[in-house]
């Protein structure tokens, strides 16, 4: 009887062990994938700032620590006050809508009566998520520190492990840069500008919960099929029905002369030819990304679809060659 040679099955055993370890590794880091992706995105966006600081200090560790502190001050602290304002203005808006004498607003009362208990009922559940949030925040900052300090080395190692030709690697890297540029500068930056304009406008013309509506504008601005007009136009109509013609006219003028040009002109100029994704893919990528990954899905959702499209493009080019 022929003896079974261990060498014959060695490669299969190694592959099976590798797959098993990969599955176990993914299981271990799965709870922190969002935190790691958040660190990756922040490191990519603020790496030029890190380079500028490190060029003066000449110390990678100290420069990385300074960047983490700066991002805490620029992102985390404002986020705390933003969330606090959103909660307060949401409750105030519910109260004002219930007390309004306008028929168009009174029609929302049954809906509000159903939503408010659900919102309040979720409060204890949200409170219990605080420890998990703090843990993810720690992981994000911890990983971010090393992404800054060892980012170039890690990137070189990852590139060397990717089993693709240099041409294909450059194709995917360029696609990541293009999509990130298009989403961050073309969508997020213009969305933030529109939200700021709406907040100031609504504050001037005494529209309830201006900060909350600014946040809604920011969300709508991410979707090509929708837009801030869905917020400022109804606000102008309500002011007109309430007899405040000056406020209604002011909101319309600012919406048409400032908010809309940001959407139609500035966004197109910032995106340019960076993103080849169809608007349908952008909408699906943004919405699906948010549902799957939370807020960072705004970037990674379209990016995943872009990478899929790049795979298809590379495969077709190889077939044609």
**Six-digit token pair at 98?**
């219930």
Domain extent at residue 67: 30-161
Answer yes or no: do 219 and 70 share one domain: no
pLDDT of residue 19: 85
Number of domains forming the structure of the chain: 2
pLDDT at 253: 92
Clarify whether residues 101 and 146 are in a common domain. Answer: yes
The torsion defined by the Cα of 16, 22, 28 and 32, in degrees rounded to 10, comes to -160
Question: Is residue 2 included in any domain, yes or no?
Answer: no
pLDDT in tens, 71-104: 888 776 676 666 666 666 666 666 665 555 555 4
| Residue ending a domain, choose from 145, 161, 177 | 161
Q: Do 185 and 304 lie in a common domain? A: yes
Is there a domain that residue 17 lies in?
no
Domain stops at, among 142, 161, 180: 161
Choose the most confident range, by mean pLDDT, from 96-100, 118-122, 179-183.
179-183
* Global confidence as pTM: 0.66
Indicate if 191 and 232 belong to the same structural domain.
yes
């808006």: which residue's tokens?
93
CA distance 69 to 49: 13
Residues 75, 214 share a domain? no
Asked whether residue 15 is domain-assigned, the answer is: no
Residue 215: name the closest of 83, 77, 116, 96 by CA: 83
Query: Is there a single domain that holds both residue 202 and residue 238?
Result: yes
């Amino acid at each position: 009887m022929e003896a079974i040679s261990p060498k014959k099955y060695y490669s299969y055993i190694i592959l099976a062990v590798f797959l098993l370890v990969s599955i176990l590794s993914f299981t271990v880091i799965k709870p922190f994938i969002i935190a790691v992706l958040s660190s990756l995105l922040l490191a990519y966006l603020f790496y030029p700032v890190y380079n500028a600081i490190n060029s003066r200090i000449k110390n990678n560790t100290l420069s990385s620590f300074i960047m983490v502190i700066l991002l805490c001050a620029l992102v985390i602290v404002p986020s705390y006050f933003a969330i606090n304002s959103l909660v307060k203005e949401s409750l105030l808006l519910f109260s004002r809508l219930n007390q309004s004498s306008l028929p168009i607003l009174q029609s929302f009362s049954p809906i509000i009566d159903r939503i408010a208990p659900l919102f309040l009922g979720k409060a204890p559940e949200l409170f219990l998520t605080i420890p998990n949030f703090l843990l993810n925040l720690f992981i994000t900052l911890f990983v971010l520190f090393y992404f800054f300090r060892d980012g170039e080395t890690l990137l070189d190692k990852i590139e060397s492990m990717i089993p693709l030709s240099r041409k294909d690697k450059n194709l995917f890297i360029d696609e990541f840069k293009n999509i990130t540029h298009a989403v961050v500068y073309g969508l997020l930056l213009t969305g933030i500008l529109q939200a700021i304009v709406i907040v100031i406008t609504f504050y001037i013309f005494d529209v309830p919960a201006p900060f909350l509506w600014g946040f809604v504008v920011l969300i709508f601005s991410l979707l090509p099929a929708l837009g801030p007009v869905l917020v400022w136009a109804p606000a102008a109509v309500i002011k007109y029905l309430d007899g405040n013609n000056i406020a209604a006219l002011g909101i319309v003028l600012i919406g048409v002369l400032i908010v809309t040009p940001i959407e139609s002109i500035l966004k197109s100029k910032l995106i340019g030819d960076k993103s080849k994704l169809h608007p349908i893919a952008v909408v699906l990528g943004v919405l699906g990304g948010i549902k799957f990954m939370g807020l960072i899905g705004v970037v990674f959702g379209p990016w995943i679809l872009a990478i899929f499209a790049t795979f298809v493009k590379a495969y077709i080019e190889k077939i044609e060659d």
